[in-house]
Amino acid sequence: MFVDRAKIIVKAGDGGRGCVAFRREKFVPRGGPSGGDGGRGGDVYLEADSQMSTLLSFRYNPEYRAGRGGHGEGGNRSGQAGEDVIVKVPLGTVVIDSHTGEVIADLVRDRQRVIVAKGGRGGRGNARFASSVNRAPRRAEPGEPGEQRELQLELKLLADVGIIGYPNAGKSTLICRISAAKAKIADYPFTTLEPNLGVVDLGDFRQFVVADIPGLIEGAHKGAGLGLRFLRHVERTKLLIHLVDVSSMSGRDPVTDYEVIRSELRLYDEQLARKPEIVVANKIDALDEPFRLERLQSYCKAQRLDFCAISAVTGEGVKLLLQAVDRKLRTVGEV
């Protein structure tokens, strides 16, 4: 199961108490105070792990506590420091404070680590308070409490290319055609209920990661369909493949389809609408009304949009599309 949002509670360890103690060894006159300090509480860290792909585990295990510091002891012995806790999260996880909305970290590199709750300082023992005017202090400090926070984790997929379009436009078929991804394919709306990731090998040691983004329909930016849940996965992509069904089976106008999805991108985030894009007419193998393809092609030419025509089922035009994607990616940055 793909889970891209989760709430967790993290609690750092409390600091240990300082100790009140005095030396009473034989042959040690006026031994004085010997109470040690309490140990510091453990910290809670989040660390990005490239081997994880979902936040599912946090649904069943939402609380994480670090170890508390040990109490100080006589003989000026300090308490043991509390054990830190390292919580592994997938690459692309955004960490947000649930109460303030503050973005604490955006973990996009493997092994990138951030501290999200600091352990409490250990209390000072009475040996720390000895002075020339107070040689036998009977005072020690309690340890400070560790931080506790409620965090919202949001996963945004790390992909170079995002495939967008109406349901049943052929996004899952295309990602299965160009990569080793095993996406579910069926002839009904919202077949794809979660994003699929695939790696496309271009040869000559060049490759890119592609994501099939489900659920975009009119009103997606308000939550219609599955759009609001998955639109954020497009945010990190460098390039969009906008797939449009040009067959008559959709019952919709291809140009209208294109404009509706573009409008949803703009309404969700203006930055998404500015991303480089290739418009791809799909299902040309089932093209029974050629004017539908011609209309979309003419529209793209007038708007100076990059255009390709393919059949994800038969593979026609797919090689040319990948070459176009490769060229486009080179202009927006190395893959």
- Residues shown for the chain: 335
C-alpha–C-alpha distance, residues 75 and 186, integer Å: 73
Which letter does DSSP use for residue 238 in this model? S
Residue 109 contacts residue 68 (beta carbons within 8 Å): no
What structural domains does the chain harbor?
Answer: 5-155 (2.70.210.12), 161-332 (3.40.50.300)
- Token code pair at residue 177: 């055609």
C-alpha–C-alpha distance, residues 63 and 10, integer Å: 6
Residue 207 contacts residue 335 (beta carbons within 8 Å): yes
Q: What is the pLDDT of residues 175-198, one digit of tens each?
A: 888 886 565 444 544 444 466 778
Residue 69 contacts residue 143 (beta carbons within 8 Å): yes
Q: What is the pLDDT of residues 15-57, one digit of tens each?
A: 999 999 998 777 776 678 999 999 999 999 999 998 887 888 8
CA torsion, points 273, 215, 51, 158, in degrees to nearest 10? 0
C-alpha–C-alpha distance, residues 276 and 17, integer Å: 59
Q: What is the pLDDT of residue 100?
A: 92
Which residue ranges in the chain fall short of pLDDT 70? 1-3, 29-30, 180-195, 215-230, 333-335
- Token code pair at residue 160: 């170079």
Q: What is the pLDDT of residue 192?
A: 47
- Token code pair at residue 173: 């078929």
Terminal C-alpha separation, the chain: 28
C-alpha–C-alpha distance, residues 279 and 20, integer Å: 75
CB neighbour burial string for 83-101, b if at least 16 within 10 angstroms, e if fewer: ebbebebbbbbbbbeeeee
| Lookup result for tokens 């973005």 | 103
**Helix 290-302 / helix 254-268 crossing angle, nearest 10 deg:** 40
Q: E strands, 33-191, where?
A: 44-49, 63-65, 85-90, 93-97, 103-107, 113-117, 148-155, 161-164
Question: ∠ at Cα 268 (262, 272), nearest 5°?
Answer: 60
Q: What is the pLDDT of residue 273?
A: 83
Q: What is the pLDDT of residues 302-313, one digit of tens each?
A: 999 999 999 999
Q: What are phi and psi of 225, to 5 degrees?
A: 65, -130
| Lookup result for tokens 């590199």 | 109
C-alpha–C-alpha distance, residues 323 and 244, integer Å: 19
C-alpha–C-alpha distance, residues 111 and 96, integer Å: 19
